[in-house]
Amino acid sequence: MEEKRGVDGAPERSHAGEKNMNAEAEEEEEEEQEAGPPRPPAEEEEAPDVGPVMPPSKKRKALEFEDQYLKQLPTAQMYERSYMHRDTVTHVMVTPSDFIITASVDGCLKFWKKQQEGIEFVKLYRAHVGAVDDLACSCDGYLLASLSRDKTVKVYDVLNFDMIVMIRTPFVPGCVQWIFKRGEARARLAISDFNSGDIYVYDARSGSSEPIHVHKVHRFPVTAMRYNAPFDTVISTDQKGFLEYWDGTSYEAPSAPTVSFTMKLDTNLFDLAKAKTVAHCIEVDKSGLKFVTVSKDRRIRVFKFKTGKLMRAYDESLEAAHELQRSGHEAFVLEDIDFGRRLAVEKEIATAETAPPPNAVFDESGNFLLYPSLLGIKGVNL
Q: In the predicted model, what is the mean pLDDT of residues 33-37? A: 50
pLDDT in the model for residue 311: 92
- pLDDT reading at 175 higher than 70: yes
Q: How far apart (Å, rounded) are the C-alpha atoms in residues 332 and 13?
A: 82
Share of the chain above pLDDT 70, in %: 82
Q: How far apart (Å, rounded) are the C-alpha atoms in residues 267 and 187?
A: 31
For 279-324, what is each residue's pLDDT tens digit?
999 999 999 999 999 999 899 999 999 999 999 999 988 888 888 8
For 208-262, what is each residue's pLDDT tens digit?
889 999 999 999 999 999 999 999 999 999 999 999 999 999 999 998 899 999 8
- pLDDT reading at 42 higher than 60: no
Q: In the predicted model, what is the mean pLDDT of residues 193-202? A: 94
Q: How many CA atoms lie within 13 A of 181 on its CB side?
A: 9
Give SS3 for 33: helix
Which among 4-8, 12-16, 23-27 has the top mean pLDDT? 23-27
Burial (0-12, 13-18, 19+ Cβ within 10 Å), 156: buried
pLDDT in the model for residue 1: 46
pLDDT in the model for residue 90: 87
* Per-position DSSP letters for 282-307, written without gaps between them: EEE-TTSSEEEEEETTSEEEEEETTT
- pLDDT classification of 154: cutoffs 50, 70, 90: very high
CA distances 153 to 146, 156, 242, 274, Å, are 6, 10, 26, 34
For 98-133, what is each residue's pLDDT tens digit?
899 999 988 999 999 988 877 888 899 998 988 899
CA dihedral of residues 338, 361, 114, 152 (deg, nearest 10): -100
Q: How far apart (Å, rounded) are the C-alpha atoms in residues 210 and 80?
A: 46
pLDDT in the model for residue 20: 53
- Average pLDDT value over all residues in the chain: 83
For 45-88, what is each residue's pLDDT tens digit?
444 555 555 566 666 677 777 777 777 777 766 655 667 788 88
Whether the CB-CB separation of 240 and 270 falls below 8 Å is answered with no
Nearest Cα residue to 380 out of 369, 367, 366: 369
Whether the CB-CB separation of 362 and 312 falls below 8 Å is answered with no
